[in-house]
């Protein structure tokens, strides 16, 4: 028993997995009693005074730690580590929140100091994102990661997933914050991404193994995304979007909000345009964010300041390619409209499109629809 | 006294000759029918007795036995009434026993003795002709159909008396000649034309490729994009049915009772568009005595499935076998019936339940709904579709523009040319079109230059294409190269094939739309 009391991992697992005792009660206990060790030692009367009879009884009953021990074994088997306030790997940025997570389950490597500048950008946005948002999320994720900025997001469909993907392409570090149990891959579509982030970044969650996703968990998860970030970038959000909750939380936490503008008629850009109206920084290039972060980062290396985003050198294109390129934008263009503009035969157009696609100049995000690649 | 005449029935889509024997014997008066009969034939006894009486022939008070042979074929249908009646009259000995071994007799009797229409006369008469029978006596309403067979002497009778008088030789009938019999060389009128579709160049090119190589097609796009309109016009750019094809199609329609009374040879390519509530059996054929389903009715033509995801999943999966084998075999206890089902599948679907994806301003579906909707089309089915195109609704300006579009005739001429190239190439094989190439034949007939092969390999590794997908792409590029009259498949043909191939799933790689 004595050993178990001194095993901080076990103690934290115990404290965070007591049935019927919620987050609010736990925080109350911590603020009034102090450390978890002290809570473990506290008398039933003391506990009853603070959180009431029923919950105190639950704490006393669970003191044999059977559940925690079982959990610890399971975590070891599944290669899941835990961090908690006071742990050396616990992200310092979270401590600035008013309700930092009491425990985080981690898959992958949670670096103590996340990167050279210790700069994180959260990227959030619509799950049902358009091509415009998806491509921009990919591009911002990639370019910011190249600059050594960590990308934090929620591993959801749409913008989140693309931001992670971009970070991985840019060889950067990325953290996925889950709104469900650490070992639950939700949504299933992101399975590949989940494993890749596990290898090259970290997946974290407040919820232990086996806990299924619940709509209520996601807003709570969002506060961790904004808590970890120095700035939050919103790409494509509808009028009532979860991403706007994240933005509100980030604002409360004193974080910078960046938003990518969209056309005022696009429903998917209503939320972001509103954010800009309310004072979020309007971002049209990753350089805007990099420059803005420079003000926040103390250790930013001035010599690295020139970040260049490779753009297409139009002079190197053949005339037909140039014409085709100028027809396209980030708005998917249907191949028939391209044919009409180029006045070329169907097979020639298809061939031209394929050649340009191979050169990485354009993409086919949807069958028969083309965009320029950014 | 014993007598024998010949009747016919249908097995699958082919006719079969049935010997109808009658014998009158001493014994208790009765009419006894034997020979593995279905109930519709068993009832023939009552009809025949009454019809004979009302035509002035009174059955002797003796034991009459009718046998339909061979005894191991299940006989069904109403076409046996007339041969049974005639065999009885012959065995009664009131008319001289005339040699009827080279005559087939088909017809249903009414109680008053009239002879009425029978389904499936064409396959029966066709089969009889192939087996050396040169005369047929059929219901008057069926003469056009029977007259399609050149060389057959066709006599139509309106009632039993007429039939018996004719056999006796008292009545002279003119052998019927179907003047519309020979396949006319004019292209059938479909009342529509490709030139009515404005714009949609990609789609039209895809359809031309499909028609040239008989490839299956899937179109995905919002409502009102012209998917059905285009599909309906597909027969107009396909070559005319050959005489054999026409006969085959007419036979199928004859069995199904869908031939008009004029008994014209069907020269239009079948275009079948069943509603999405169709059942398995209606689609592939079925019933205790199997009847052709929609896949057989669209034999040599087009099976158009609009709103593909709305079809019952089972129904779509049963399509897999006919798509691969070009025929459908329906097994029953008595026999296995083979129906031809060499059709071109043309399917159309919306990209999402509300129909507006990828226009996110209009689409009200959740990502999950869209994904599930697109996943209703199973991989194996998708794998059998060579050409997969997205469609975008045309703009107002295009619909009312004065632009001159190519008419069906011009496209058809090109298609015919491309088909001739294929026929020539495969003249020593059992196939005639690129879409029929299987693994062995692909190896034999499709040889890629090194450069092209390297390119294909690169594409395969980049785009995650299955082994079946590769052969689909090769077949498709063969057709495209044939259209350009190129012997070797070039990179440009391969690229076009890749574009039309379904590497991107139904509409973009399934899930890729929202996947991270």
The yes-or-no verdict on residue A300 having pLDDT over 90 is no
pLDDT in tens, A190-199: 899 999 999 9
C-alpha of B267 from chain center: 12
Distance from CA of B240 to the nearest CA of A (A): 26
**B101 contacts: CB under 8 Å, gap ≥ 6:** B4, B6
Q: Return the residue of A nearest to B494 by Cα.
A: A351
- The answer to whether the CB atoms of B508 and A366 lie below 8 A apart is yes
The dihedral of CA B179, B181, B185, B188: what is its sign?
positive
Distance CA B355, CA A342 (A): 29
Mutate to test the interface with B, among A124, A125, A127, A128 (most CBs of B within 10 A): A128
- For the CA atoms of A93, A97, A103, A109, what is the dihedral angle to 10 degrees? -20
Distance (Å) of CA B415 to CA A96, B266, B301, B410? 72, 21, 15, 9
pTM for this one?
Answer: 0.86
Beta strand residue intervals within B351-394, DSSP E: 387-391
Task: Please report residues of A whose CB lies closer than 8 A to that of B371.
Answer: 189
CA–CA gap between residue B293 and residue B298 (Å, rounded): 9
CATH number of the CATH domain containing A267: 3.40.50.450
Is the minimum CB–CB distance between B514 and chain A shorter than 8 Å?
yes
Whether residue A200 is found in the same domain as residue A127: yes
The maximal CA–CA distance of chain B, rounded, in angstroms, is 89
Partners of residue B360 in chain A, C-beta under 8 Å: 128, 130, 266-268
Nearest-angstrom CA–CA distance, B30 and B88: 13
Q: How far is residue A269 CA from its own chain's centroid?
A: 20
Disruptive mutation site among A191, A366, A369, A370 for chain B (greatest number of B CBs within 10 Å): A366
Minimal Cβ distance to B514: which of A127, A268, A334 = A127
Quote the percentage of chain B above a pLDDT of 70.
Answer: 95
ipTM score assigned to the predicted complex: 0.81
Element spanning B12, H or E: none
Q: Do B515 and A157 touch (CB under 8 A)?
A: yes
Q: Are B49 and B59 in contact (CB under 8 A)?
A: yes
* Same domain as A349, residue A264: no
Are residues B390 and A366, on separate chains, in Cβ contact within 8 Å? yes
CA dist B516 and A203 (Å) reads: 15
- Among the listed residues B85, B83, B144, B82, the one whose alpha carbon sits nearest the alpha carbon of residue B115: B82
Task: Supply φ then ψ for residue B108, to 5 degrees.
Answer: -105, 145
Residue A257, domain member (yes or no): yes
User: What's the mean pLDDT when you consider all of chain B?
Assistant: 88
Instruction: Find the CATH number of the domain harbouring A68.
Output: 1.10.150.20
Domain assignments of chain B as residue spans, ordered by start: 2-168, 194-409+417-430, 437-516
The stretch A177-199 carries a mean pLDDT of: 91
Distance from CA of B202 to the nearest CA of A (A): 6
- From the list B358, B513, B516, the residue facing A190 with the nearest CB is B516
State yes or no: pLDDT of A257 exceeds 90.
yes
- In the three-class reduction of DSSP (H, G, I as helix; E, B as strand; rest coil), residue A204 is classed as strand
Q: Which two tokens stand for residue B355?
A: 């129909």
Contacts of A76 (CB under 8 A, 6+ apart): none
Q: Residue B141: which H helix or E strand, with range?
A: none
Q: Is residue B181 pLDDT above 70, yes or no? A: no
Same domain, A205 and A65: no
Q: Is residue A82 part of a domain?
A: no
Token pair listed for B175: 């052998």
Cβ contacts of B79 within 8 Å, gap of 6 or more: B7, B8, B9, B106, B107, B108, B118, B120, B121, B124
Contacts 24+ apart (CB under 8 A), B58-62: B59/B29, B59/B31, B59/B88, B59/B92, B60/B24, B60/B29, B60/B92, B61/B29, B62/B24, B62/B25, B62/B26, B62/B27, B62/B29
Rounded to an integer, the average pLDDT of A224-247 is: 91
Contact residues, B window 340-359, toward A, CB-based 8 Å cutoff: 358
How many CB atoms neighbour CB B65 within 10 A? Answer: 17
CA distance B374 to B360: 17
The pLDDT of residue A315 is 78
Distance CA B494, CA B224 (A): 31
Give the pLDDT mean for A5-9: 83
Residue A57 lies in domain: 2-77
Whether residue A158 is found in the same domain as residue A292? yes
Report pLDDT for A298. 60
Judged by CB atoms closer than 8 Å, whether chains meet at B358 and A127 is answered as no
Please answer whether residues A253 and A239 qualify as being in contact, where contact means their C-beta atoms are separated by less than 8 angstroms.
Answer: no
Closest in A128, A129, A350 to B499, CB measured: A350
Burial B261-276 (b: 16+ CB within 10 A, else e): eebbbbbbbbbbbbee
CA B215/CA B343 separation, integer angstroms: 10
CA distance A368 to chain B (A): 6
**Statement to judge: residues A331 and A292 lie in one domain:** no
Residue B104 has pLDDT above 90, yes or no: yes
Smallest CA–CA separation between B154 and chain A, in Å?
Answer: 53
Considering A5-9, A50-54, B387-391, B416-420, the range whose residues carry the highest mean pLDDT is: B416-420
Q: Are residues A224 and A147 in the same domain?
A: yes
Cα–Cα distance for residue pair A234/A224, rounded to 1 Å? 15
Residue B77: what pLDDT? Answer: 83
**Sign of the torsion angle spanned by Cα atoms A125, A128, A133, A134:** positive
Range picked from A100-104, A328-332, B167-171, B194-198 for highest mean pLDDT: A100-104
Region label for B226, one of left (φ > 0), alpha (ψ between -120 and 50) or beta (otherwise): left
Q: Which two tokens stand for residue B261?
A: 């009374």
Nearest to A337 by CA among B36, B8, B61, B390: B390
- Retrieve residue B231's tokens: 């599909």
Instruction: Give a yes or no: residue A54 inside a domain.
Output: yes
B391 min Cα distance to partner chain A (Å): 8
A73 shares its domain with A118: no
CA distance B126 to chain A (A): 46
pLDDT cut 90: percent of chain B above it: 51
CATH level 3 topology of B437-516: Helicase, Ruva Protein; domain 3 (1.10.8)
Residue B381: pLDDT band with limits 50, 70, 90? confident
Regarding whether A324 and A237 lie in a shared domain, the answer is no
Q: 3-state DSSP call for residue A66?
A: helix
List the one residue out of B204, B235, B210 whose CA is nearest residue B479: B210
Side-chain-side CA neighbours of A325 within 13 Å: the count stands at: 21
Dist. CA A76–CA A105, nearest whole Å: 12
Q: Is residue A214 part of a domain?
A: yes
B205 touches chain A (CB under 8 A): yes
Same domain, A238 and A263: yes
| Domain boundary residue, one of A305, A329, A358 | A305
- Higher-confidence position of B484 and A110: B484
A286 with A362, same domain: the answer is no
Residues A234 and A274 in one domain: yes
The single-letter DSSP state of residue B312 is -
| pLDDT classification of B394: cutoffs 50, 70, 90 | confident
Q: Which CATH number fits domain B194-409+417-430: 3.30.300.30, 3.50.50.60, 3.90.78.10, 3.40.50.300?
A: 3.40.50.300
CA B425/CA B220 separation, integer angstroms: 33
Domain match, A324 and A300 both? no
A141 with A170: CB under 8 angstroms?
yes
CA distances from A367 to B44, B472, B500 (A): 61, 18, 9
Q: How many whole angstroms separate alpha carbon B514 and alpha carbon A130? A: 9
User: Residues of B with CB below 8 A from A342's CB?
Assistant: none
- Token pair recorded at residue A328: 């396209």
Between B420 and B368, whose confidence is greater?
A: B420
Domain-embedded: residue A332: yes
Element (H, E) at B108: strand B108-109
pLDDT, greater one: B85 or A130: B85
Sign of CA dihedral A66, A67, A68, A73: positive
Is the minimum CB–CB distance between B276 and chain A shorter than 8 Å? no
Which pLDDT belongs to residue A256? Answer: 92
| pLDDT > 90 in chain A, percent | 49
Contacts of B390 in chain A (CB under 8 A): 334, 366-369
For residue A95, the 8-state DSSP code is: G
3-state secondary structure of A346: helix
The residues, ordered by sequence, that sit 6+ positions from B46 with a Cβ below 8 Å of its Cβ are: none
Quick check: B512 pLDDT over 60? no
Contacting B with CB below 8 Å, chain A residues are: 127-131, 155, 157-158, 160-162, 164-165, 189-190, 193, 265-268, 332, 334-337, 339-340, 346-347, 350-351, 353-354, 364-369
Q: Does the pLDDT value for residue A370 go beyond 60? A: yes
CB contact under 8 A, A354 and B499: yes
Mean pLDDT, to the nearest integer, of B348-366?
A: 86
Query: Does residue B511 have a pLDDT over 50?
Result: no
Asked if the B2-168 domain carries CATH number 2.20.25.10, the reply is no
Is-contact B314 B378, C-beta < 8 A? no
> Mean pLDDT, to the nearest integer, of B363-373?
85
Sheet of strand B217-221: strand arrangement? B271-272, B302-305, B344-349, B217-221, B387-391
Q: What is the pLDDT of residue B404?
A: 83
Look at residue A1 in the predicted model and tell me its pLDDT.
Answer: 54
Tell me the average pLDDT of chain A: 88
Distance, in Å, from the CA atom of A165 to the CA atom of B408, rounded to the nearest integer, reads 48
Q: Among A305, A327, A344, which residue terminates a domain?
A: A305
- Quickly state the pLDDT bin for B271 (edges 50, 70, 90): very high
Residue B510 has pLDDT above 70, yes or no: no
**Which residue among B220, B484, B516 places its CB closest to the CB of A162?**
B516
Lowest-confidence segment of A41-50, B363-372, B414-423 by average pLDDT: B363-372
For residue A83, being part of any structural domain is answered with no
Is A364 inside a domain boundary? yes
**What is the number of domains present in chain A?**
3
The answer as to whether A94 is a domain residue is: no
Ranges of H-type helices in chain A:
2-6, 8-16, 23-33, 36-41, 44-51, 53-61, 66-77, 131-146, 159-169, 191-200, 217-228, 242-252, 270-277, 286-296, 319-327, 335-342, 346-358
Rounded to 5°, angle at Cα B327 from B322 and B329: 95
**Inter-chain contact A367–B389, Cβ cutoff 8 Å?**
yes
CA dist B137 and B108 (Å) reads 12
Give residue A348's pLDDT.
93
pLDDT of B505 over the 80 cut: no
Lowest mean pLDDT segment, chosen from A79-93, A204-218, B175-189, B405-419 = B175-189
Q: Identify which of B480, B499, B514 has the shortest CB distance to residue A157.
A: B514
More confidently predicted of B40 and A269 = A269
């Amino acid at each position: 028993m004595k050993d178990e009391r001194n095993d901080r991992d076990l103690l934290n697992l115990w404290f965070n997995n007591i049935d019927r005792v919620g987050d609010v009660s736990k925080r109350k206990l911590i603020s009034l009693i102090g450390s978890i060790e002290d809570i473990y030692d506290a008398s039933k009367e003391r506990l009853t005074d603070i959180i009431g009879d029923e919950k105190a009884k639950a704490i006393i009953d669970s003191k044999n730690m059977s559940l925690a021990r079982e959990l610890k074994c399971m975590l070891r088997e599944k290669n899941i580590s835990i961090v908690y306030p006071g742990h050396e790997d616990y992200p310092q940025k979270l401590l600035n929140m008013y309700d930092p997570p009491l425990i985080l389950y981690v898959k992958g490597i949670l670096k103590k100091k996340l990167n050279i500048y210790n700069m994180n950008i959260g990227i959030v946005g619509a799950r049902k994102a358009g091509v415009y948002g998806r491509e921009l999320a990919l591009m911002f994720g990639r370019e910011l990661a190249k600059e050594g900025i960590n990308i934090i997001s929620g591993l959801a469909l749409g913008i989140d997933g693309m931001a992670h993907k971009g970070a991985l392409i840019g060889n950067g570090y990325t953290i996925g914050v889950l709104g469900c149990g650490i070992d639950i891959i939700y949504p299933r579509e992101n399975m590949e991404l989940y494993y890749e982030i596990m290898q090259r970044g970290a997946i974290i969650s407040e919820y232990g193994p086996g806990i299924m996703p619940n709509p209520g968990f996601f807003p709570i998860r969002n506060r961790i995304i904004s808590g970890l970030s120095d700035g939050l970038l919103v790409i494509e959000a509808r009028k009532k979007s979860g991403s706007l909750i994240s933005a509100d939380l980030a604002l409360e936490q004193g974080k910078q909000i960046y938003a990518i503008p969209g056309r005022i008629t696009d429903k998917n850009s209503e939320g972001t345009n509103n954010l800009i109206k309310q004072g979020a920084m309007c971002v049209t290039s990753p350089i805007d964010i990099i420059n803005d972060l420079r003000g926040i980062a103390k250790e930013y290396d001035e010599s690295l300041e020139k970040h260049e985003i490779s753009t297409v050198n139009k002079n190197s294109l053949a005339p037909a390619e140039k014409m085709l390129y100028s027809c396209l934008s980030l708005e998917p263009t249907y191949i028939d409209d391209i044919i009409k503009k180029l006045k070329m035969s169907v097979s020639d157009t298809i061939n031209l499109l394929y050649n340009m696609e191979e050169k990485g100049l354009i993409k086919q995000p949807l069958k028969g629809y083309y965009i320029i690649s950014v | 006294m014993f007598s024998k005449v010949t009747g016919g029935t249908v097995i699958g889509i082919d006719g079969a000759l049935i010997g109808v024997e009658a014998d009158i014997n001493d014994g208790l008066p009765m009419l006894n029918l034997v020979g593995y009969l279905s109930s519709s034939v068993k009832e023939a006894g009552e009809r025949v007795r009454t019809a004979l009486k009302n035509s002035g022939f009174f059955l002797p008070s003796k034991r009459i036995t009718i046998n339909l042979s061979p005894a191991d074929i299940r006989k069904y249908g109403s076409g046996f009434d007339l041969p049974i009646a005639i065999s009885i009259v012959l065995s009664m000995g009131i008319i001289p026993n005339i040699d009827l071994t080279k005559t087939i007799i088909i017809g249903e009797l009414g109680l008053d003795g009239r002879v009425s229409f029978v389904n499936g006369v064409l396959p029966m008469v066709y089969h009889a002709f192939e087996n050396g029978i040169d005369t047929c006596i059929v219901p008057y309403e069926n003469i056009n159909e029977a007259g399609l067979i050149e060389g057959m002497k066709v006599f139509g009778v309106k009632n039993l008396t007429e039939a018996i008088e004719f056999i006796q030789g008292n009545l002279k009938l003119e052998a019927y000649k179907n003047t519309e019999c020979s396949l006319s060389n004019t292209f059938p009128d479909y009342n529509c034309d490709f030139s009515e579709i404005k714009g949609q160049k990609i789609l039209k090119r895809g359809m031309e490729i499909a028609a040239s190589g008989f490839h299956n097609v899937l179109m995905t796009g919002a409502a009102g994009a012209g998917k059905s309109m285009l599909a309906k016009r597909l027969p107009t750019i396909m070559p005319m049915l050959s005489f054999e094809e026409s006969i085959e199609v007419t036979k199928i329609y004859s069995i199904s009772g869908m031939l008009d009374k004029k008994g014209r040879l069907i020269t239009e390519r079948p275009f079948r568009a069943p509603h999405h509530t169709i059942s398995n059996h209606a689609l592939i054929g079925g019933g205790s005595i199997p009847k052709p389903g929609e896949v057989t009715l669209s034999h040599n033509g087009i099976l158009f499935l609009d709103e593909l995801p709305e079809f019952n999943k089972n129904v779509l999966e049963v399509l897999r076998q006919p798509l691969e084998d070009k025929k459908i075999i329906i097994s029953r206890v008595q026999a296995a019936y083979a129906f031809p089902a060499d059709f071109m599948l043309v399917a159309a679907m919306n990209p999402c339940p509300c129909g507006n994806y990828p226009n996110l301003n209009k689409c009200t579906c959740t990502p999950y709904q869209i994904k599930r909707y697109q996943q209703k089309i199973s991989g194996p089915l998708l794998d059998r579709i060579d050409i997969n195109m997205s469609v975008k609704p045309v703009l107002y300006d295009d619909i009312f523009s004065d632009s001159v579009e190519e008419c069906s005739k011009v496209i058809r001429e090109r298609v015919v040319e491309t088909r001739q190239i294929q026929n020539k190439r495969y003249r020593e094989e059992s196939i005639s079109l690129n879409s029929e190439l299987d693994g062995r034949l692909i190896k034999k007939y499709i040889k890629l230059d090194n450069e092209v092969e390297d390119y294909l390999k690169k594409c395969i590794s980049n785009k995650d294409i299955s082994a079946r997908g590769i052969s689909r792409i090769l077949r498709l590029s063969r057709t495209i190269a044939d259209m350009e009259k190129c012997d070797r498949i070039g990179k440009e043909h391969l690229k076009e094939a890749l574009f039309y191939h379904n590497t991107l799933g139904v509409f973009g790689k399934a899930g890729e739309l929202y996947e991270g």
